[in-house]
Amino acid sequence: MGNKSSILTTLKPFLQNNWGKSRYSHLTPVQMKAIPLILEGKNLTVQSPTGTGKTIAYLLPIIQKMDKQKKQAQAVIIAPSRELVMQIHEESQKWLEGSDLSAASFIGGANVKRQIEKLKKHPQLIVGTPGRILELIKLKKLKMHEVQTIVLDESDQLLVPEHEETIKNIIKSTMSERQVLLFSATRLENKEKIENDLGKEVQLLKIGKEEMPASNVAHYYFVYRHREKVKLLEKILKTVRPERALAFVQDIGNMSVIAAKLKYEGVALNVLHSELKKEERKHSLNQLRIGKNSLLLATDVATRGLDIKDLTHVIHVDFPENIKQYVHRSGRTGRMGASGIVITLVTEREERTLRKYGRELGIKMQRKSIYKGKLVDFAPRA
């Protein structure tokens, strides 16, 4: 296992044991670079593409540094959405197995009294959304004086005007020698401002696409005329028969219309958007995960930070707002070197923009059409 084993062999026995039980055979580039630096106590901004193993890159060293004798919060992980908080919490449980350490999650919208009860059990690892974490600090229920590390996961979503003050106040509530770690799939714009806000110099660690296992993702697109879009989507789905597809729609109103039309044509699907109740969201994701329904129609906001394993297809039903959104959405298939297909529905005008994205990203955009129930390369009619 070369130099990666040397990192793993320095970890506590329960962590090594949990690694042995995990489905991972080796550390990814971001894990190999970030873990030693985090163990050294460095402040980092880590930029690494979606699906490269960022969560484990910070969880392992954070847990390694925890002291089970201290019955207080020692690390706080902040994430922008409830789903991402739950996902990180679930992942942390796996790595804490066999130790005397515990984790707890705190999300906005949940019952505050019940969350205060959770704190009475003295969890050492705290995962939560910014507003709720700050509320618990202000109520003097979450004590921050033993916190050594603060992680901002999806930091590009957290360092936006609506959360900025909250994040600053959370960081201010800790001792000055604490470590700050920022993780994101996209570039953080103003490093100087962030350093000023944190009162710390932050080292940038960037993992490029070229350091990741080669991704076997094909990028296809279909051109449609006005009003033909849903009909075309239905034809594509019935031709491609995806195993697990995530299809992006810009707004909830439009999604309801598309979902109703597709269901009428016999397409089995679920929807995921911010207005669904927690149980409904869970059900929608589960149906896709277990392969019950192969299509999930979703908005970008509802899927932030979600890791849906083994996605075979990503479909841009509505054209992405910018190249960053194209990359973010498309990066959900073909993770860790797996193969996948990205399909975009475009008008003639959007086709020009999409081809421009292809040139900028070094991706071959292939125009396709459906002929006799099969997916074929588009051939202009003579």
Domain boundaries, the chain: 2-207, 213-377
Per-residue model confidence (pLDDT) at position 308: 78
Residue 121, pLDDT > 90, answer yes
Helix orientation angle between 112-119 and 130-138, rounded to the nearest 10 degrees: 70
Residue 309, pLDDT > 50, answer yes
Quickly list H helices, the chain. 2-9, 13-21, 29-39, 54-65, 82-96, 112-119, 130-138, 155-158, 161-172, 191-198, 229-240, 252-264, 278-289, 300-303, 323-330, 348-361
Query: Tokens in use for 316?
Result: 């841009």
Of 43-47, 60-64, 340-344, where does mean pLDDT reach its minimum?
43-47
Exposed, middle or buried by CB within 10 Å (0-12, 13-18, 19+), for 141?
Answer: middle
Distance (Å, whole) CA 71 – CA 120: 10
* Gyration radius (Cα) of the chain, Å: 22
CATH class of the domain at 213-377: alpha beta
Distance (Å, whole) CA 364 – CA 345: 16
Per-residue model confidence (pLDDT) at position 189: 65
Per-residue model confidence (pLDDT) at position 200: 66
Residue 52's pLDDT band, with cuts at 50, 70 and 90, is confident
Per-residue model confidence (pLDDT) at position 102: 95
Q: Do strands 365-371 and 374-377 pair parallel, antiparallel, or not at all (unpaired)?
A: antiparallel
Classify the phi-psi angles of 66: left when phi > 0, otherwise alpha if psi is within -120 to 50, otherwise beta.
beta
Residue 2's pLDDT band, with cuts at 50, 70 and 90, is very low
CB 121 within 8 Å of CB 72: no
Please, which residues have CB within 8 angstroms of residue 153's CB and are 6 or more apart in sequence? 54, 55, 58, 77, 78, 79, 80, 84, 88, 183, 305
Specify the 3-state DSSP secondary structure of 267.
coil
Tell me if domain 2-207 and domain 213-377 are identical in fold: yes
Residue with tokens 């990203």: 361
Per-residue model confidence (pLDDT) at position 362: 79
Residue with tokens 């841009």: 316
Residue 195, pLDDT > 80, answer no
Instruction: Single out the residue of 212, 205, 202, 215 nearest to residue 49, CA to CA.
Output: 212
Condensed to tens digits (0 to 9), the pLDDT of residues 132-177 reads 999 999 999 999 999 999 999 988 888 888 888 899 899 989 988 8
User: What are the distances in angstroms from CA 85 to CA 126, 274, 337?
Assistant: 10, 15, 26
Condensed to tens digits (0 to 9), the pLDDT of residues 213-240 reads 556 889 999 999 878 999 999 999 999 9
Distance (Å, whole) CA 180 – CA 42: 8
Per-residue model confidence (pLDDT) at position 211: 56
Specify the 3-state DSSP secondary structure of 374.
strand
Got the DSSP string for 290-328? TTSSSEEEE-HHHHTT---TT--EEEESSPPSSHHHHHH
Per-residue model confidence (pLDDT) at position 209: 62
CATH class of the domain at 2-207: alpha beta
